[in-house]
Amino acid sequence: MGAARMKVYNGCAILLFGMIVFGSLMAAASTGPTDMSTAILVRVDQSGINGDFKKIQDAIDSVPSNNSELYFIWVKPGTYREKIVVPADKPFITLSGTRASDTIITWGDTGEIIDSATLSVFASDFVGRYVTIQNTFGTSGKAVALRVAADRAAFYGCKILSYQDTLLDDNGRHYFSNCYIEGATDFICGNAASLYERCHLHSLSREDGAITAQHRNSTSEDTGFIFSGCKITGIGTALLGRPWGAYSKVVFYLTNMSSVVLPQGWDDWGDQSKQSTVCYGEYKCYGPGANRTKRVKWSSSLSSDEAAPFLTMDMIGGRDWLRPVPTHFKRGSTILTEQADGITRD
């Protein structure tokens, strides 16, 4: 296994995954799919008319343990009132709607943060596409919509909705593209290594709510949240983040920050000792909320060299594991192909 490259700024060590993940990826590939263009199609239709299952959980349960093929679970439009778990022994699943606005997974649980999620992903190599995932519990407690606690997970065009702890980005390497994420209190939290590209972050906080609560606990942990080309809006005022872990790491670059972002930007969560250990940076952000003249002094305006490690997929090793959408599907001996308006027979 090659040696990792290290970048350091303001005391924060940044490990670039690109040179260290090769061995683990090759090990995964030996038991994973050899054909990334073809997936087994499983259809979910709550009406029971045009589907193999009425419930999403039943479709997930039908995937064999430790499967070595891609499974594509196509969810027809509807509101699915389910609390869903993707178990660790069911890798290589894609869960896809056609539009997030009409394919909704909803539940309303609270309690311990690790138990309240509407959708919990424990399986590696998971993909979510064009679905809404929401927790409707309300404003009085922890209410996770999505928990991601597995390596190599990606989400495209999803809506993730709740109030407190909306997205528990728990552990592993993750990628979020063109997602809408909404909440008020620490609504993107956890200790994953995640890249958010072109995502819309919407704060429901009336005042002083935090968008992020990243949970990195030491310099040896290669984790952090990176936001690239995103947009921040809201109904009141919000902080960019506060440290759930003493070595919390969050970077925003090329992000449009509305006036919802408080001038100080960041908070130490009542522990001044964390000011010397957190890694909070901004690079070429714009909009009224990006003005750094009143930012806390222990956050950073990154130079081009300091920002360089965050301008690629290297932190999550994404070039090696992000996979394209399958172009062919099979159900038994029937081969199908994807078209713009859905999946139809050849």
Residues 207-210: contacts with CB within 8 Å, 24+ apart?
207/236, 207/237, 208/237, 208/238, 208/239, 208/262, 208/267, 209/184, 209/185, 209/236, 209/237, 209/238, 209/239, 210/185, 210/186, 210/238, 210/239, 210/240, 210/241, 210/242, 210/267
> Counting runs of H as helices and runs of E as strands, what totals does the chain give?
4, 31
Please answer whether residues 11 and 29 qualify as being in contact, where contact means their C-beta atoms are separated by less than 8 angstroms.
no
**Catalytic residue IDs:** 165, 186
**Closest CA relative to residue 173, chosen from 189, 154, 201:** 154
| Strand, coil or helix: 320 | helix
